[in-house]
Chain A
Amino acid sequence: MEMRHDNVGEVRRVVLTGRLDTAGVDVVETRFGAAIVPNGKDTIVDLSEVTFLASMGIRMLIATTRALSRKGGKLVMYGAGPGVMDVIETTALTEIIPLAGSESEALGLVG
């Protein structure tokens, strides 16, 4: 599991790569939270390179979204592939975290 982040204007962009399962979360969770929560910026998370999303990955996304929300920021996911999309749909995750089809759409949702 890998993670990189940068800024698109005033918006934080985080790209996750690999399997977001228990082992993957162990690797990125601290960095993921540290890159997003402290500055309270609106954030878009690119899931296009995530090949598998397990319950611990969902937990990480929800916990970070809620922590960011308490700082006044908003988190939007985008780019989910078919397998990850199935999990997002099954868990109704979009009831908690908005999902966009593309980066530009995600930027529109946080803007």
Chain B
Amino acid sequence: MLGATVDEAQTQIMTFARNANFTLEDRAHCLELLDGHGQGQRYIVGMAGANIGRTPPADIVLADSEVSRAHCRLTLENGVLMVTDLNSTNGTFVDGVRILAPTAVPVGAILRIGRQSLKHEWRTHREILQSNEFDREIGKARSYVEALLPPLLTDGPVKTDWLFEPCSKLGGDAFGYGALSGTQFLIYMMDVSGHGAGAALHSVAVMNLLRQRALPGADMADPAQVLAALNHMFPMDDHAGMYFTLWYGVYDTASRRLRYASAGHHPAFLVPEDRSQALGLRTRCGLIGADPGTRYTAAMADIPPGASLYLFSDGVFEFVTADGVEWGLNDLVPYLQMPRLPEMTESRRLFRDVRKYAQPGGLDDDFTLLVLTFD
């Protein structure tokens, strides 16, 4: 999602088993869309097979300019799912290999068509329906989180740009910003341990507190006090074993100083207008909720005119590349310093630059990135 709230698309099952008379325990060949706007959508391929293309009359329509009108055909041969490319412009790929002839798609394989990835699953109709119900619940939780995310700021002393691309399991990321009082501007990014609706609702509970700009016994302008108050309010023993990481800062537009503290979170990075460095901003403090005795400390940074602050969750840099290499924070930092592009937002540029290294398929974790640019 990019800077706006959208109504969550419902997961759908589309079936091409036209002549099938199945029971819930019968297994079916199912393709699950792993990315893009229709993420989570499932297509059951029956004995009649199915054509994939960009427009009808294709049975499976993928609205992607890199998908040909009639792109490929799926068939079942002796119980094996086969795919045949229909002379498409950009080709059909099975587990990253472009097919040159009718090719088997093993269970678990990723079928890549244009920019879309579909995973082949062999599941009972009952399992598919249960997954569908689960996805609907995840979809509701995702919508709840998205509804609480702040609008983009395009005027004023702080401008914002963000990208929130949750993984299919929903990862528990959240962030916020806005006026605190007078010249003070609040910023935060958090990541709840684990995935699913539970993690998302935990993040929502914290977001709702911070949106009220009030915490018991804490000065909201003092990051160390805020972290300590949250640590007191959200012990993991009382919250299904969940803890969270948090980066929290308060920027004073008059003094141009940013006061910040982090709890188990990697640094935010301050990049000056000339892109000459990426300065990590972090205090070494423990996770929120993990230990009631944790002490929190804050630090200060001067903000030069035109500088940008990058905050993100670990899903932005923790992934395995197509070559099987673990990516990490040190791999990401040089990309933060690269020049801005006039035709693209910073968050979208970084998503493009980083995700090109990832294995095909959906995200393993939320990709959450917030860029603040100071006048």
Contact = CB atoms under 8 A, between A and B. Distances in A.
Nearest to B364: A21
Given A54-B318, A86-B329, A91-B245, A59 B194 contact: yes
Nearest to B289: A62
B352 to A, nearest CB: 25
B363 to A, nearest CB: 13
B285 interface: yes
A61 B290 CA distance: 11
A39 interface: no
A9 B279 CA distance: 48
A66 B286 CA distance: 15
B31 interface: no
A86 B264 contact: no
Contacts of A59: 193-194, 236, 241-243
Given A59-B194, A83-B326, A95 B294 contact: yes
A92 B287 contact: yes
Majority secondary structure, B binding face: loop
Chain B contact-residue range equals: 20 to 34
A39 B115 CA distance: 53
A52 B193 contact: no
A62 B265 contact: no
Contacts, number: 56
A22 B287 contact: no
A96 B285 CA distance: 11
Contacts of A86: 328-329
Interface string A67-111: 000000000000000010010011111011000000000000000
B137 interface: no
Majority secondary structure, A binding face: helix
A24 to B, nearest CB: 13
Contacts of A17: none
Interface string B177-211: 00000000000000101110000000000000000
A58 interface: yes
A15 interface: no
A39 to B, nearest CB: 22
A63 interface: yes
Contacts of A92: 264, 284-287
Given A91-B287, A92-B286, A92-B287, A83 B328 contact: yes
B236 A91 contact: no
A103 B119 CA distance: 43
A55 interface: yes
B33 to A, nearest CB: 21
A56 interface: yes
Interface in B219-252: 236-237, 241-243, 245
Contact of B236 (A62, A83, A95): A62
A4 B290 CA distance: 26
Contact of A55 (B193, B266, B329): B193
Given A56-B193, A86-B329, A90-B266, 12 more contacts: A22-B195, A52-B318, A52-B326, A55-B191, A55-B314, A59-B194, A62-B290, A83-B328, A86-B328, A92-B264, A92-B284, A92-B287
5 contacts: A54-B318, A55-B194, A62-B236, A62-B287, A91-B264
- For the complex of A and B, 4 pairs with smallest distance between CB atoms: A55-B193, A91-B264, A95-B286, A92-B286
